[in-house]
């Protein structure tokens, strides 16, 4: 039986981890996978997470199963973090999931159950794993134009033109903030226009929010989600705690489904059912830490402070890189790097140029020229800037 299996394509992002490790060069630079690193190249455990873990050790009395939906306190805390007070509680169904990927996977399965012929509209480009999971589930996908490779900004006119074709029963997948892989994001008025268009077409929005707090701030990064949630009757939200709590390997996320209050009971039951089919109970450790942090004013304040330091650090690396590139290129054509938000920017380079960065300079980024800003520090920014010009980007 197993002999009939065909090799599956390697994940292009995760593949880089192995390649980078195997590279013997001492001065190599890893701008690949979306993991935050401080100036020393370390992905630290956040202070509040450490403190919560210590407390948890003292107070945890059982490792017995949690609920199929996870702990209600976690679901409530996540809904409040993402949605603020934009939505009444009687519209919210929510389950804990294994990370943001688990939330996306459960959302896609929910869509397939509710609307078997749904086309899921995804941005061109999007996080490659969106496409991979949708393909694995045999779901219909269409891409909407999103990124203008010349300006490195959102091509909003093209996006709206394409999304006008989405129909009721279809799903439009949006990135809540810090678009992955481009770093180019919608403005407030653009979110409003998207909400209006979705209202007209009847397509259901699904919002993947994996970087809340990494762009313009915790509240600011949620403003698009909140607007859509307050304006449209049904919304799916896949939220990740991997990055903003730095608990990548704990696999902590939530799938939130907003519906008419009359549909809430069945929606919540279906989310729990889907958890049961796929993995039974969601992981608890990370979810518990997140709950403790969000519900304890002192832990929460310290977490928000550290997250803000992380965000501002990435912003200043963006500024520095844009300046170094201006010096190295003698032009303003890299100004977009300071405009983009979040962990990533897409340079808009050809695959051969990305390959040369790797082979000639030991600089690793995803083949579509997505670079992880957090992989840089003050010393490596000028090195990257010179390498970018050297390979002719």
Residues that bind ligand LMR (CB under 6 A): 13, 33-34, 127, 129, 180
Note if 243 is an active site residue.
yes
Nearer to ligand LMR, 35 or 160 (CB): 35
In this structure, what DSSP letter does residue 221 have?
A: G
Task: State the nearest-atom distance from the C-beta of 106 to ligand LMR, in Å.
Answer: 16
Which run of H or E residues covers position 336?
A: helix 336-339
Would you call 9 helix, strand, or coil by DSSP? coil
Q: What is the token pair recorded at 277?
A: 């089919």
CB-CB contact of 181 with 127 (8 Å): yes
Task: State the nearest-atom distance from the C-beta of 33 to ligand LMR, in Å.
Answer: 4
Nearer to ligand LMR, 133 or 350 (CB): 133
Residue from 210, 254, 257, 287 carrying the catalytic annotation: 210
Task: State the nearest-atom distance from the C-beta of 331 to ligand LMR, in Å.
Answer: 29
Q: Can you tell me the distance from the alpha carbon of 287 to that of 99, in angstroms, rounded to the nearest whole number?
A: 10
Residue from 48, 243, 257, 385 carrying the catalytic annotation: 243
Q: What is the token pair recorded at 136?
A: 């694995």
Nearer to ligand LMR, 232 or 239 (CB): 239
Task: Judge if the upstream peptide bond of residue 125 is cis by omega within 30 degrees of 0.
Answer: yes
Task: State the nearest-atom distance from the C-beta of 302 to ligand LMR, in Å.
Answer: 25
Nearer to ligand LMR, 69 or 246 (CB): 246
Nearer to ligand LMR, 34 or 246 (CB): 34
Q: Can you tell me the distance from the alpha carbon of 122 to that of 173, in angstroms, rounded to the nearest whole number?
A: 5
Residue from 69, 103, 107, 127 carrying the catalytic annotation: 127
Q: How many CB atoms lie within 10 A of CB 87?
A: 19
CB-CB contact of 298 with 113 (8 Å): no
Output the residue with the shortest Cβ distance to ligand LMR.
34
Q: Which pairing describes strands 235-240 and 204-209: parallel, antiparallel, or unpaired?
A: parallel
> What angle, 0 to 180 degrees and rounded to 10, lies between the N-to-C axes of helices 297-329 and 380-390?
40
Task: State the nearest-atom distance from the C-beta of 13 to ligand LMR, in Å.
Answer: 4
The residue count for the chain: 393
Query: Residue holding tokens 């992981």?
Result: 283
Nearer to ligand LMR, 102 or 282 (CB): 102
Would you call 122 helix, strand, or coil by DSSP? strand
Task: State the nearest-atom distance from the C-beta of 34 to ligand LMR, in Å.
Answer: 3
Q: Can you tell me the distance from the alpha carbon of 301 to that of 307, in angstroms, rounded to the nearest whole number?
A: 10
Residue from 30, 170, 208, 368 carrying the catalytic annotation: 208
CB-CB contact of 283 with 69 (8 Å): no
Note if 210 is an active site residue.
yes
Catalytic residues: 127, 208, 210, 243
């Amino acid at each position: 039986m197993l002999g009939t299996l065909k090799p599956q394509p390697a994940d292009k992002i995760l593949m880089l981890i192995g390649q980078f490790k195997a590279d013997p060069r001492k001065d190599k630079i890893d701008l690949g996978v979306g993991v935050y690193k401080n100036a020393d190249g370390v992905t630290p455990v956040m202070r509040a997470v450490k403190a919560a873990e210590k407390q948890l050790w003292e107070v945890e009395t059982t490792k017995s199963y949690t609920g199929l939906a996870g702990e209600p306190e976690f679901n409530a805390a996540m809904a409040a973090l993402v949605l603020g007070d934009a939505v009444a509680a009687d519209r919210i169904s929510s389950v804990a999931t294994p990370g943001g990927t688990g939330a996306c996977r459960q959302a896609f399965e929910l869509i397939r159950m509710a609307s078997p012929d749904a086309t899921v509209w995804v941005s061109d480009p999007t996080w490659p794993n969106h496409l991979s999971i949708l393909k694995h589930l045999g779901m219909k996908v269409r891409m909407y134009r999103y990124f203008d490779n010349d300006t490195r900004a959102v091509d909003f006119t093209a996006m709206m033109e394409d999304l006008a074709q989405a129909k009721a029963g279809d799903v439009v997948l949006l990135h809540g903030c810090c678009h992955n892989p481009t770093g180019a994001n919608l403005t407030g008025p653009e979110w409003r226009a998207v909400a209006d268009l979705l209202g007209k077409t009847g397509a259901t929005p699904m919002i993947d929010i994996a970087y809340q707090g990494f762009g313009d701030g915790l509240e600011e990064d949620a403003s698009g989600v909140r607007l859509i949630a307050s304006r449209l009757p049904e919304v799916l939200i896949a939220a990740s705690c991997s990055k903003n709590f730095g608990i990548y390997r704990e696999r902590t996320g939530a799938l939130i489904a907003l519906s008419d209050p009359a549909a809430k009971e069945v929606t919540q039951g279906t989310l729990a059912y889907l958890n049961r089919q796929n993995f039974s109970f969601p992981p608890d450790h990370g979810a518990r830490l997140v709950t403790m942090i969000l519900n304890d004013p002192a832990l929460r304040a310290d977490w928000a402070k550290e997250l803000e330091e992380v965000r501002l650090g990435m912003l200043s690396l963006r500024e520095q890189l844009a300046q170094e590139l201006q010096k190295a290129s003698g032009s303003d054509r890299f100004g977009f790097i300071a405009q983009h938000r979040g962990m990533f920017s897409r340079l808009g380079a050809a695959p051969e140029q990305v390959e040369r960065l790797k082979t000639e300079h030991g600089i690793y980024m995803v083949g579509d020229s997505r670079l992880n800003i957090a992989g840089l520090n003050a010393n490596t920014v000028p090195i990257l800037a010179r390498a970018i010009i050297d390979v002719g980007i």
